[in-house]
Structure 1
Amino acid sequence: MAHFTPPYARIAAELRRRIEDGELAPGDRVPSTRQIAREWNVALATATKVLATLRQDGLVEARPRVGTVVAPRRRRPTQGGTRSGTPAAIETQTATGAGADRELTRERIVRVAIGIADAEGLAALSMRGVAARLGAATMAAYRYVNSKDELVLLMADTVLGELQLPPDTPDGPDAPDTPDIPDTPDTPAKAPADWRARLELGARSLWQLHRAHPWLAQIGPLTRPLLLPNLLAYSEWMLSALDGHGLPPATVLNLNVLLYSHIQGLAIQWERETAAESSTGLTDDAWMAQQEETLASLTASGAYPTFTRLVGSLGTDGYDLHLDELFEIGLASVLDSLGRRIGRRP
């Protein structure tokens, strides 16, 4: 019986050939998961496994804000040897050397892992891949982080710490000294006193954070909240705006969860759209173009008069769904409803 080679292994072999033949040189970007999915007509999960395989073999590495590139070649010393400290000598150092292990820190491991997740998604993240990116042995990384699960929690807490929410600073001559914070349109130097402005700032800040780190939406279900210090700090900010308006404690907590879930839910859709484009090779416009015949048939049936009328009223421009707009609509709807509820309180 003929031996079956999985698609990911065949694609990895082809990219390995390109690297070994010099078609892809050290530092060159390799095809992303989206490009692999399109070129070989495979699912995003398969494309992710391709890059994970190449990382495990030490052929590629993920670089923050760059993507996945061909890793530097590691050559053995020539017979004549090389002087210590020269570029050639540095290239010959192995990933398991004691020097590489001594340079490891938990912070470096977490930062590199965030870069990999930002570029390739959580599915591409592994302890082995992070260690390879740092030029260290896999077991060396385990001395700082016990597991991938713990690593993901550390990553989440780290990026949540990027939220630039200004502190509460009391006014008056007796107010304590506080560090200067630059005042920008998005982040004022002082926390807004108005409950609505405070909630808007907190929600928009978290939405932008999810946009920068799409994998953050996957860290855990709402029913199993993660007790991360920076996530609790964010909740404290939001709860302090919701508290003090005569609402029952459970309602205050529920409203905080509702706002958080609005952000998380749209962030998940953002990541799913990226995955759909990667797996199908179709942009939003291309996918919709393929649905025109089906849409025309449905609207002509007369079974959906409201839908047909609304779509027809848009003319040739059609309807474009934008997640940023949905975020703002949802946020305004929740806060408008909250304002009416607060206004009815005695």
Structure 2
Amino acid sequence: MSELPADVVLMWGLRDASRRGPKPSLTTEDITRAAIELADAEGLAAVSMARVAERLGNSTMALYRHVKSKDELLTLMSDAALEEPSPLPDGVDWRTGLTFWADNVLTTLRQHRWYAEIPISGPPAGPGNLAWFDAALGALADTGLSEEGKVGVVMGLMTYVHGQIRLSVDLAAGFTDNPAAFNQYGAVLKQVVDRRRLPAVARVLDAGVFDPVVTFDESDDQDFDFGLQLYLDGVAGFIERTCS
């Protein structure tokens, strides 16, 4: 296993599988599940090896036999939190399939709001992330795109979905901390924007786009759906140019 990257060995359970002797009473899966439950309840900042050990009724040293550091624990959490993707509906076209997929990613990650705080350090490599990657690629199976083209489409879609999730979490937290900043945004800009220098912004303000908002609803998917369909419009054009 030495030729495999350490994070791959960890996420695929190959480290535990390589150990000899009786089956341990504590497993990497137990530790990961407890950490996710703790993060769901109290936020990512609450997760530590000691707190997870306490939740499991074990010593901290018992956890280190399976997970060497908090960074490793976060890697495991970021893959396991995705769970298994819902199967794509039978007989749908690629656009419906990718819309279904993106909506399911959004729904799944909203159950684990801390997920947005974990840095993305590379392409999908764990079993959870790869299951979702495979499902999205499968939605493009009948498009005629090359395998490279399919990967490009899905990676772009992943960037959009994850970006929207992180943005919505940050904006929701910002609104909770200082709702006045959101409600006064348009009024403040109207006082400082020079129409000659920023004419396009001035037209947006005149149209009332930034008028006061009473609430910020993180579960309102209108903006997400709008951006998603714009992205898929671009994919449709790419498929037409490439496969016609």
Normalized against structure 1, the TM-score is what? 0.54
Question: 198, 211, 214: which is aligned to 1:304?
Answer: 198
Which residue is 2:135 aligned to?
A: 237
The structure-2 alpha-carbon separation of the partners of 1:123 and 1:226, relative to structure 1 and needing over 3 Å to count, comes to farther
The RMSD of aligned alpha carbons is: 3.0
Which residue is 1:343 aligned to?
A: 240
What is the CA–CA distance in structure 2 between the aligned matches of 1:155 and 1:218, rounded to whole Å?
12
Question: Offset of 1:322 from its aligned partner?
Answer: 6.7
Which residue is 2:159 aligned to?
A: 261
Which residue is 2:227 aligned to?
A: 330
The CA deviation string for residues 218-273 of structure 1, in whole angstroms up to 9 with x for no partner, is 44436x22411121111111112224433333222111100001011112213323
Cα pair 2:84 2:132 within 8 Å, conserved: no
Structure with the bigger percentage of helix: 2
Which residue is 1:128 aligned to?
A: 50
* Superposition map of 1:1-346 within 5 A: 104-166=26-88, 190-221=89-120, 224-276=122-174, 281-283=177-179, 286-289=180-183, 291=185, 294-299=188-193, 303-314=197-208, 317-318=211-212, 324-344=221-241, 345-346=243-244
What is the CA–CA distance in structure 1 between the aligned matches of 2:206 and 2:187, rounded to whole Å?
15
Question: Offset of 1:140 from its aligned partner?
Answer: 1.8
- Which structure has the greater CA radius of gyration? 1
Which residue is 1:171 aligned to?
A: none
The SS at the match of 2:66 is coil
What is the CA–CA distance in structure 2 between the aligned matches of 1:120 and 1:271, rounded to whole Å?
15
Cα pair 1:214 1:270 within 8 Å, conserved: no
Which segments of 5 or more consecutive residues in structure 2 lack a partner in the other structure? 1-23
The CA deviation string for residues 37-91 of structure 1, in whole angstroms up to 9 with x for no partner, is xxxxxxxxxxxxxxxxxxxxxxxxxxxxxxxxxxxxxxxxxxxxxxxxxxxxxxx
Residue range with higher mean Cα deviation, 317-326 or 139-148? 317-326
Question: Offset of 1:208 from its aligned partner?
Answer: 1.2
The structure-2 alpha-carbon separation of the partners of 1:259 and 1:322, relative to structure 1 and needing over 3 Å to count, comes to farther
Cα pair 1:118 1:213 within 8 Å, conserved: yes
Cα pair 1:262 1:327 within 8 Å, conserved: no
The SS at the match of 2:81 is helix
What is the CA–CA distance in structure 2 between the aligned matches of 1:252 and 1:194, rounded to whole Å?
15
Which segments of 5 or more consecutive residues in structure 1 lack a partner in the other structure? 1-101, 167-189
**Percent identical residues:** 34
Residue range with higher mean Cα deviation, 230-239 or 309-318? 309-318
Cα pair 1:217 1:268 within 8 Å, conserved: yes
Cα pair 1:128 1:138 within 8 Å, conserved: yes
What is the CA–CA distance in structure 2 between the aligned matches of 1:243 and 1:152, rounded to whole Å?
33
Residue range with higher mean Cα deviation, 289-298 or 211-220? 289-298
The structure-2 alpha-carbon separation of the partners of 1:314 and 1:335, relative to structure 1 and needing over 3 Å to count, comes to same
Residue range with higher mean Cα deviation, 256-265 or 305-314? 305-314
Q: How many residues align?
A: 217
The structure-2 alpha-carbon separation of the partners of 1:245 and 1:288, relative to structure 1 and needing over 3 Å to count, comes to closer
